[in-house]
Chains A and B, each alone.
Chain A
Amino acid sequence: MPSEPAGPSGPPDPFGPSEPEAGRPETGDAAAGIPAGAPPPGGGPGAPPPAVPAPAPDSGEPPPDARHRLHPVSILFILGAQARSLLVPGLFVVFAARRSDDPSVWAMVLIVPYALVAVVRYLSFRYDYRPDELVIETGFVFRKRRHIPYGRIHNIGSVENPLHRAFRVAEVRVETAGGEEPEARIRVLSLDALEEMRRRVAVGKARGAGAAAGAGAAAATAGEQTAAGEAGAAVTPSPAAAVMAGVAAAPAGRELVRLGARDLVLHGLIDNRGMVVAGAALGLGWQAGLFDRAGIDAGRPSSPWSGGWEAWGELPQLAWQWVARSLQSGSSPLRVAVGVLVAVALFLLLVRVLSIAWAFYKLWGFRLALAGRELASESGLLTRVRAAVPLHRIQTVTVSETPLHRLFRRVEVSAETAGGKTGSREGGGDRERQRLAPVLRRAELPALLAEILPGLDLSAVDWRPVDPRGERRMRRVRLVSAAVAGIAVTIAARPAGVSPWWGLAAFVPLALLGIWIARRRIRRLGWAVTDDDVLYRSGGLWRHLTVARDSKLQALALEESPIDRRWGMATLALDTAGAGMTSHRLHVPYLARATARELFEQLERRAAATAFRW
């Protein structure tokens, strides 16, 4: 801290003083910004150059004071981010203080290093807008410089929790294609600086896109492209304008989806995140010893973090203990049964209520807007999360319907994007999935899809079935597995002296269920090809429908298992970028071989005739 003269005594708002420089690169940045290798051209002679400790020897960087800094309250937020690691030592301090005489000494020992780290991190963080890339420098002893070309930036996401809002700052995430983590996490910027970053990245991007378009036109070999090119130009008159409009902060532009309180209630009911919330609550209650007070004897969880899960596991046992005790103490079995039923009903109700609360917390004020060629979303009750996705980054769009969705005539629409991490994403395996509409009236679906995938009219799609013999195949598999289950029950029942008829009792319902499911699934399975898109739908009860543009197909595969070959069938698997573990992939099974081959060749031609850009 003392080695940085520009630090504490420096400007309270680091963005003010940088404005003079900020104006320059825009007007004539080729001249001002890029003289790489040249020594600092005296950009800011006013302020004495801060004594940056020997920057990397390969430095061809602009004058140090042309670079931007974090907002000073960053120190606070960096400390906050460290709070979790502070928690355990903090508890130690509390306990130590109880015994020893002076707790403040311990507190100093604990807090001071962390505070120092936070201050150093704040002081050493710089970012700079170069003509064609964003440069972020971090580290004090080991300086690290990251170059992010504007063209590769997918999204400048932001998170604002109530504390952020109090200081009018935001945590910023610069995201690029690929990679699990955001390319850069900037904690924290003032809202004005965030605005400036969005603007300048948009300008940089548009300039890059213009240059690339020029190069592309020059390199284009196909003469037929001109017509398409003109059409494309007409749709997006100026990439600069479009991107500019898009990266703008709050979801401006045309609103596509907005969730009201009623939608959130419905979403909570359908989505059923309540189990997760209930698990966490249960874990907390366990920690607080609520169950001890309730007189229930149970083991303690081994660690505070696993408490929730262990609590889940223990629950049936607790219930059983309660039942056993009630029966012993002479309650009538009927009353106990009623009690158990009521408890289960209450529990299910509670879970749903929690799920609704969760929906309100996460999705309050959910908005999705289309500005130019970019989707912008915003949601969150306390912590506002904003994200922007350019339409061309969307790889696939999936429409999901659970049985509950169908009951309420709603659907869920999500998109897979390549790269990018902010936004209302699902947890778990498929982290690239972004919800475009957590809950949407089915009647509004075609309109939304037409906005996201222009030219697609879902209501006019001509669905084609798979090979009808697929039902026999699937039924056969179901019957065999039902038979295996029945035989297993018979074998298991024999030593226990139970009648082997129980095996049959297991087989019959499973077989009937299997036949029913096979029929529903095969009837629902279908594919369709429209002017620019491929569609695939599946699922008997839990239904999914996925659309991909031809230009997003990366590779095509025609797969035949030995059983496929016996039936003369094949699976057509279309590969797209950004698909997760649990995504609804475009893998169309049970196609007659000739149909599959024809479709494969048709789509290969169509994919090859389009260009793919991230």
Chain B
Amino acid sequence: MSEERAGEAPPAEAHAGPERKLDRNWITQQRIGRWIRVGVLAGVWAVASLVVTFAGAPAAVSAAVVGGLGALLVLQAVLAHVWPAKTWKHASYRVTGSGIEIRRGVWWREVVAVPRSRVQHTDVSQGPLERSLGLGSLVLYTAGTDHSRVALPGLAYEDALAIRDRLAAVDEDDAV
């Protein structure tokens, strides 16, 4: 009932889809998001520094807070600029005749493939920042366990819609 197989030979175009990068605006989006976080942390750091300096805390404590946390903050700021470009470099996707293949990860690399027939439903979403940059996030839902939700953020909004239509175009016969 469920194990029918449509032909042994895979469709010729199955693995012929071009490897595509994410939209470059995604780097900007990630940077802005991270900068906002760094800004909030900087505020916290400034308040904490003022408190330890004027509340007469031991020198070691104030040094740790002002210096140590300050250094962490600088590191965060550097990462906020560098990391999005690095993840962008290692992220790509490929829409094939049989489904979609998503590649990601800088240190821990991963290629996830979701066959079209396994996509239960899809979401395309847009946050405020994404909207202003013309981006959209595509989320695929499968019946799986680890990959029950496969997200592909950082697409141009029209691309996200097009991919969704492409993947959702599968017949309705696998409805539960």
Contacts and interface: CB of A to CB of B under 8 A. Distances in A.
A561 B108 contact: yes
A562 B147 CA distance: 21
Contact of B4 (A555, A556, A573, A610): A610
B10 A611 contact: no
A158 B172 CA distance: 33
Given A600-B111, A604-B98, A605-B10, A551 B144 contact: no
Interface in B1-41: 1-8, 10, 14-15
Contacts of B172: 215, 219
A607 interface: yes
A228 B7 contact: yes
Interface stretch (A280-288, A496-504, A574-582): A574-582
A605 B96 CA distance: 11
B59 interface: no
A558 B111 contact: yes
Interface in A218-260: 219-222, 224-225, 227-229, 231-232, 236, 239
B123 interface: no
Interface in B130-159: 142-148, 150
Contact of B147 (A373, A555, A601, A613): A555
Contact of B173 (A224, A549, A551, A611): A611
A560 B104 CA distance: 11
Interface string B58-101: 00000000000000000000000000000000000000001101
Consensus secondary structure, chain A interface: mixed
Contacts of B7: 222, 224-225, 227-228, 609
B117 to A, nearest CB: 6
A577 B4 contact: no
A565 interface: yes
Contact of A219 (B15, B150, B173, B176): B173
Contacts of B116: 608
A605 B14 contact: yes
Contacts of A213: 173
A222 B170 CA distance: 12
Given A224-B6, A605-B98, A609-B7, A577 B144 contact: yes
Interface residues of A, number: 57
Contacts of B2: 392, 551, 611-613
A600 B145 CA distance: 18
B117 A216 contact: no
Contact of A232 (B1, B98, B105, B175): B1
A229 B147 CA distance: 30
B113 A554 contact: no
Contacts of A554: 114, 118, 142-145, 147-148
A467 interface: no
Interface in A563-578: 565, 573, 575-578
B29 to A, nearest CB: 25
Nearest to A577: B143
A95 B142 CA distance: 56
A22 to B, nearest CB: 27
B171 A219 contact: yes
B145 A559 contact: no
B35 to A, nearest CB: 28
Contact of B109 (A215, A418, A565): A565
B151 to A, nearest CB: 12
Contacts of A576: 144-145
A557 B109 contact: no
A361 interface: no
Contacts of A559: 108-110
Q: Which 6 A-B pairs have the closest CB atoms?
A: A224-B7, A216-B173, A554-B144, A608-B98, A219-B171, A575-B144
25 contacts: A212-B175, A213-B173, A216-B171, A216-B173, A220-B6, A225-B6, A232-B4, A550-B5, A554-B142, A554-B143, A554-B147, A557-B111, A557-B112, A557-B147, A558-B111, A559-B108, A560-B109, A578-B145, A608-B14, A609-B7, A610-B3, A610-B4, A610-B117, A611-B117, A611-B173
